[in-house]
Structure 1
Amino acid sequence: MKAKKNGLLNVVFKEKQPSSRKSIEKNPQKLTERDLENLMGINRPTYKRGRGGAFRQK
C-alpha cells in the first residue's frame, strides 16, 4: 500500500493486482444455411392488405 498526503489528510490507496482469472475461450457456433435463413426470417409467410383493409396471405 502506498500512503499519499493530500493536504492535512493521510489517504491510503490500494495498488491494483493483476487479475488471476483465466480468459475463457468460446468456440464459435457453427450454423447451417437453414438456421441462418430461419434467424433472418426469410421463410416466413408474407401478408398484404386486401379489400376492406384485412390482411391476407400472399
Structure 2
Amino acid sequence: MKAKKNVTLSIGFKEKQPSSRKSIEKKPQKLTERDLKNLMGIDRPIYKRGRGRAFRQQ
C-alpha cells in the first residue's frame, strides 16, 4: 500500500508581520456638556406611582 503524503494547500494568506511604525495615539473624544447630561440620563422624565398604583409623571 502507498502511504499518503501530507498535502498543504496554499490559500494565499500571508502571516502578519509586526509593524515597524510607532502606534498612533488617538485623540481623546471631547463631549459637550449636553452630550454628557444625555448619557447620564439627567433630562429624562421622572415617573412615580400615584394613587391607584398608576405611574404618573412628576
In structure 1, runs of 5+ residues without a counterpart are: 1-18
For the residues of structure 2 that align with 1:52 and 1:21, how far apart are their CA atoms? 69
Give the ranges of 4+ consecutive aligned residues of structure 1 lying more than 3 Å apart after TM superposition.
Answer: none
1:20 maps to amino acid:
S
In structure 2, runs of 5+ residues without a counterpart are: 1-17
TM-score normalised by length of structure 2: 0.59
Identity of aligned residues (%): 77
- Residue aligning to 1:47: 47
Kindly tell me: are residues 29 and 57 of structure 1, through their superposed partners in 2, closer, same or farther at Cα, counting changes over 3 Å? same
RMSD: 1.8
Aligned length: 41
Higher strand share: 1
For the residues of structure 1 that align with 2:52 and 2:20, how far apart are their CA atoms? 63
